[in-house]
Amino acid sequence: MAVIDQSKIRNFCIVAHIDHGKSTLADRIIEKTGLLTSREMQAQVLDNMELERERGITIKAQSVRTVYRAQDGEEYIFNLIDTPGHVDFNYEVSRSLAACDGAILVVDAAQGIEAQTLANVYLALDHNLDVFPVINKIDLPSAEPQRVIEEIEDVIGIEAQEAPLISAKNGIGIEEVLEQIVTKIPAPTGNPDNPLQALIFDSLYDPYKGVIIFCRIMEGTVKKGTVIRMMATGAKEEVVEVGYFGAGQFIPCEELSAGMVGYITASIKNVKDTAVGDTVTDANRPCAEPLPGYKKVQSMVYCGMYPADGAKYPDLRDALEKLQLNDASLNYEPETSVALGFGFRCGFLGLLHLEIIQERLEREYNLDLVTTAPGVIYKVHKLNGEVIELTNPSNLPDPSEIDYMEEPIVSAEIMVTSEFIGSIMELCQERRGRYLGMEYIEGTRALLKYELPLNEIIYDFFDALKSRSRGYASFDYDIKGYEQSSLVKLDILINREEVDALSFIVHADSAYERGRKMCEKLKDEIPRHLFEIPIQAAVGGKIIARETVKAMRKDVLAKCYGGDITRKKKLLEKQKEGKKRMRQIGNVEIPQKAFMSVLKLDDRK
Amino acid sequence: MKIEKKELELYFHIPFCVKKCNYCDFLSAPCTREQQEAYMGALFAELEGRAAEYQDYTVVSVFIGGGTPSIIPEAGIAKLLRIVKEEYDLQENAEITIEVNPGTVDREKLQNYYQAGVNRLSIGLQSAENRELQTLGRIHTYEQFLDTYSLARELGFTNINVDVMSALPGQDLDSYRNTLYRVLNLQPMPEHISAYSLIVEEGTVFAKWEAEGKLDLPDEDSERHMYEETGRILETAGYHRYEISNYSLEGMECRHNCGYWTRKSYVGFGIGAASLVENIRFRNTDELKWYIENPLGCREELQVLSVEEQMEETMFLGLRMTAGVSCEAFQAYFGKSLKQVYGEVIDKNLETGLLRFKENEKGSYLQLTEKGLDVSNYVMSQFLFD
């Protein structure tokens, strides 16, 4: 195989706000560079997407290599690294960007710049990537390419007059994009003879090959037989195979050298050994130091997951084990709840990540789950100097032992049209937001900057934002750090028994309000029993709210169905079936969905 | 040696009415004269065609229900009963009931019923308040009911049921009491009173109104009061509650309905009619057209009941009757005692005071308590197996 000329390689990614056409442009690039005919395009890429759709949202970085014959007559190798687009996966995104030399910024010709546009473009600029803009969807009737070009120049400060005006959907202007990839994105640098230094930007577990490492070779060369070492995790293995990414398949090759993007397999059993952001080096001839920017992925959101049917506990454990093989950011450890029995406390990057895992457990592993209210990690400083990282509210030490508590804070940027500024500011205020400032972007849109406690945005902040801005607000955040806060544990007592799975940590000022709403909600969720059931919310043993589920006085079919017994039996069966899905707490039966009800407390419009 | 014949009940479904009531979810609709005639023809054919199937049985009761059977010309009803007499072994003192609605019968019709062998009338009054009748979408007034009732007595009917309903839109405790008192003041008093509580069923006009917030139903407290008053008032007047919603004077229980609760064999004729014969359940099609074309070939949903299903039915049907389920009969039929099969459920409900054992001259019975009757579904559902 001929040695690849480094100057003919372009490693790039596409950054965009959600729905601005990133994936469609990626598809067009693959198609136009002749990797696939349009018929194969249908057959292969779309099949792939169907699989993804089944699995919910793409959380893995994808990568593809294509060859483009440019107008200068030369052939260029394009490595397109597709990154996950959600704020939960910011760290993964940043590692993918670090593997690139440039980025295409896609902006919707009608909508212009959005919060994620900014967040992603700044992230790209932070990584010293050369960014060139593309205006997409120019065939929309509401397209205003000129306005968007000015907006890009004013707000982001990058040159945009030469931005290709395209419609990725209809294949307009794609050639210009391909040419600009050649002219505007720099070729990689790095010396193939230096000691190996490669960046892991993703990895996945394959049952046959073991872990497959996705990497960008910064310096040196790797080939079959090289003994590699992950510098952060210390894992060491001999390389079995190296290769690059075809469309939806792995294509083995001789070697990967500086500037190239590809994969390495080395019969590694666990993705945990190949942490995203880690540096791969040659164990026998290591590089002097790892690439910068590695950090251990930290779960931000925790919740309890329990099998609805207690007997399925081993199934849940097996399923989590399998998912973790492929998702190093998923954490779990066994826990027990008085109310829910045996289950796991699971840690996630964010709420979306939680939802994806939950959905995969339910759909791919056919498990029926009860999930407790998600919470963040609180730092509990005890009077004896000990600091506890609290992930399960039930483990909160006695208040008399606590000196103070801290909670995670995020810096948030919200882009919104001016008519909704008031209601969005009100929302941030309600969620204990600290106003940092506002920048106007042209006349009608503003970028609001807030600091918000993470636990105020993990439930339904995004939904509330959308509903209060008729879908127009966009939002992005970054973890800023921990701050001291006045937090309390809110307990729920049902028929005077504390239900551990319903406890949650809340700011002291919102405890009363949340307690009241929680009681109201539970009152609606818990069916009547033969006796009256008090539902109480308590903080530190003091009752702050109460509702009562009245005793059942009537449950009778006072109607004659004549001989139609089947109908009556169906009714009784439904009733019995309903009871089966309940959890017994003392002598009260609680429907499983009641445990999720804390998620839906904020029904204000 | 003469073999004792098995008992059988017959049900005839007449799916026609003048106008569908606002709360009704039974299989019934207004129709043309031609449809009626075609339907009756099919019904005769089904009845005649099945006679051979049931020659080993003695018919102990006949019930003609609907819909409003009384809108059918009386000759049709007479013909039905004639076929029963001629082709089936009808017991001499069989109970023969027809449902009638005030406003659809006159002297001649009632007289013809009587002559045809009908010996029990079930009159749908529902309420003695015309305002409430109107909301229900009934086609008659209280006064029309009075006419029908006195005519029936005059013509010699000595077994009459009156249907009343509680928890109606716009009804309050006083107006409900008034309905009950007016029924009790009839001369002579009806032998039987069915007192139902309104259930808003899906697909009815009431369900639509409820969804639109236009249905003024009594609140839970008044609804409960009405329910409690039913028992108190009727029992004071000398009726006894023998089933969740049914009250009668001594010895005047509806034998046909008791057959349902005790799982006697019964055959339903006409569309949508359900049957239970020797532990096999089935029903006729709901499709009028299909039935008229194939009155003998439209049985559906055939289900052979397993022993467990038979036990479940024995319990949830038997407990509807205040007398309850006979322990001896259960043991004799299933070869296992009630306690063996349902010990845990029974103990739990004895403890919460929803069930009790009662001894009488006929043996030991498991029955719902007063409190248990109020929440009977809750209790009955526990008798279903997992």
Reported as a single tens digit per residue, the pLDDT across A28-78 is 888 888 655 554 544 444 344 443 444 334 445 578 888 898 999 888 999
Closest-CA distance, A577 to chain B, in angstroms, reads 9
Which helix (H) or strand (E) element contains residue A360?
Answer: helix A351-364
Q: Are B379 and B354 in contact (CB under 8 A)?
A: yes
Residues of A within 8 A of B63 (CB-CB) are 562
Q: Are A402 and A485 in contact (CB under 8 A)?
A: no
Q: Find the CB nearest A556 among B260, B266, B375.
A: B375
Q: What average pLDDT does chain A have?
A: 85
Kindly tell me if the per-residue pLDDT of A467 is higher than 70: yes
State the greatest distance between any 2 C-alpha atoms of chain B, in Å, as a whole number.
67
CA nearest B9: which of B248, B275, B271?
B275
Q: Which residue segments constitute the domains of chain B, with CATH numbers given? A: 6-260 (3.20.20.70), 323-386 (no CATH)
Q: How far apart are CA A175 and CA A68, in angstroms?
A: 10
Report CA torsion sign: A453, A459, A461, A464.
Answer: negative
* pTM of the full structure: 0.66
CA–CA distance, A441 with B9 (Å, rounded to integer): 83
Range ranked top by mean pLDDT from A25-29, A369-373, A456-460, B369-373? B369-373
**Which H or E run contains A325?**
helix A313-326
CA angle, corner A305, sides to A302 and A306, nearest 5?
Answer: 160
Kindly state whether B194 is in contact with chain A, defined as any CB-CB distance less than 8 angstroms: yes
Query: Coil, helix or strand for A62?
Result: strand
Structure confidence at residue A113 (pLDDT): 86
Q: Is the pLDDT of residue A102 over 90?
A: yes
B377/A569 CB distance under 8 A: no
Cβ–Cβ below 8 Å for A579 and B381: yes
Query: Distance between CA B360 and CA A479 in Å, rounded?
Result: 76
Q: Give yes or no for a contact between A343 and A335, defined as CB atoms under 8 angstroms apart.
A: yes
Is pLDDT above 50 for A424? yes
- Find out whether A378 and A337 touch, Cβ atoms under 8 Å: no
Backbone angles phi, psi at B171, to 5 degrees: -85, 145
The C-alpha atoms of residue B350 and residue B345 are separated, in whole angstroms, by 9
pLDDT over 50 at A349, yes or no: yes
Q: Which of A554, A565, A575 sits opposite B317 (nearest CB)?
A: A565
Say if CB B279 and CB B24 are below 8 A apart.
Answer: no
> Are B215 and B224 within 8 A, CB to CB?
no
pLDDT of residue B201: 85
Q: What is the mean pLDDT of residues A110-125?
A: 83
Selection from A201-210, A497-506, B59-68 with the highest mean pLDDT: B59-68
Q: How confident is the model at residue A286 (pLDDT cuts 50, 70, 90)?
A: very high
Asked if the C-beta of A577 comes within 8 angstroms of chain B's C-beta atoms, the answer is no
The sign of the torsion formed by the CA atoms of A390, A391, A396, A397 equals negative
Q: Which residue has the tokens 């809110």?
A: A490
- pLDDT at residue A601 in the model: 60
Question: Measured between CB atoms, which of B224, B283, B352 is closest to A554?
Answer: B224
What is the DSSP secondary structure assignment for residue B2, as one 8-state letter? P
Report which secondary-structure segment, H or E, holds B310: helix B307-318
Lowest-confidence segment of A450-454, A474-478, B88-92 by average pLDDT: A474-478
| Among A residues 507-546, those touching chain B with beta carbons less than 8 Å apart | 530
pLDDT for A44 = 40
Q: Are B195 and B247 in contact (CB under 8 A)?
A: yes
Nearest alpha-carbon partner for A510 in A543, A554, A544: A544
B185 touches chain A (CB under 8 A): no
In angstroms, the CA B321 to CA B243 distance is 4
- Mean pLDDT value of segment A499-505: 89
Report the Cα–Cα distance between both ends of chain B, in Å, rounded.
Answer: 45
Question: Which helix (DSSP H) or strand (DSSP E) does residue A525 occupy?
Answer: helix A511-525
Alpha-carbon gap, residue B312 to A513, rounded angstroms: 47
DSSP B86: H
Q: Which long-range contacts (CB under 8 A, 24 or more apart) does B89-92 make?
A: B89/B5, B89/B55, B89/B57, B89/B58, B89/B59, B90/B58, B90/B59, B90/B62, B91/B58, B91/B59, B91/B60
Contact call for A575 and B194, based on CB within 8 A: no
* Chain-chain contact of B196 with A576 (C-beta, under 8 angstroms): no
Asked if B11 is an interface residue toward chain A (Cβ–Cβ < 8 A), one would say yes
pLDDT for A375-413, tens place per residue? 899 999 999 999 999 988 988 998 889 999 999 999 998
pLDDT tier for residue A248 given thresholds of 50, 70 and 90: low
Q: Determine the pLDDT at residue A332.
A: 92
What is the reported pLDDT for A552? Answer: 82
How far does the CA of residue A552 sit from the closest CA of chain B (Å)? 8
- List all residues of chain A from 305 to 324 with a beta carbon under 8 Å from chain B: none
- Tens of pLDDT, residue by residue over B324-374, are 999 999 999 999 999 999 999 999 999 999 999 999 888 999 999 999 998
Question: Which segments of chain B have a pLDDT < 50?
Answer: none
Q: Reply yes or no on whether the pLDDT at A558 is more than 80.
A: no
Q: Within an 8 Å CB–CB cutoff, is residue B378 touching chain A?
A: yes
- A560 and chain B in contact, CB less than 8 A: yes
| DSSP notation for A112-151 | B--HHHHHHHHHHHHTT-EEEEEEE-TTSTT--HHHHHHH
**Would an 8 Å CB–CB cutoff place B245 in contact with chain A?**
yes
CA distance A272 to A291: 18
Strand-pairing partners, residue B299, are: B284
pLDDT of residue A193 exceeding 80: yes
Which residues of chain A neighbour B66 with C-beta distances below 8 Å? none
Torsion angle (degrees, nearest 10) of CA A329, A330, A334, A336:
120
Q: What integer pLDDT is reported at residue A561 of this predicted model? A: 56
Residue among B266, B276, B375 whose CB faces A530 most closely: B375
Residue A391's φ and ψ, nearest 5 degrees, are -115, -20
Cβ count within 10 A of residue B351:
9
In chain A, % of residues over pLDDT 90:
41
